[in-house]
Amino acid sequence: MSDKCIFCRIAHGTAEASIVYEDSTVIAFLDIQQFHPGHALVVPKAHVPDIFDLDDETGAALMSTLRRVSRAVDSAFSPDGINIWQSSRAAAGQDVFHLHFHVLPRHTGDYWHYSPVRRSPSKAELTEQAAAIRGAMAST
């Protein structure tokens, strides 16, 4: 764990997040700077800087969780589609140097690609979104 890494602090319970899923290897929580409601992050609990440092066992757990969270976001928010993306290293746009995958609900005609327009939902909105995703995960 890196004390300077916000995702490590979230994974170890020392920083607040709207958690949608957690097990011993992976944690998923809502992005606090969302393009759209339901925008979630899926993150290994261990500090893995980027995809190049990911081991096979953690990668398998991460992909399994990514699939489950994506299905739950789809069920909870009924988007027209979902983007899943991951950036490794600064030149690719990585801004938190702890491996993470974005699960982004999309709607026909919207625009998000590197848009400076992101919303910062209230704690109440994030709590409501997280509950919707957890409920969808429980029913699948």
By annotation, the residues acting in catalysis are 100
Taking the CB of residue 96, how many other CB atoms lie within 10 A of it?
A: 13
CA torsion angle 9 86 32 133 (round to 10): -100
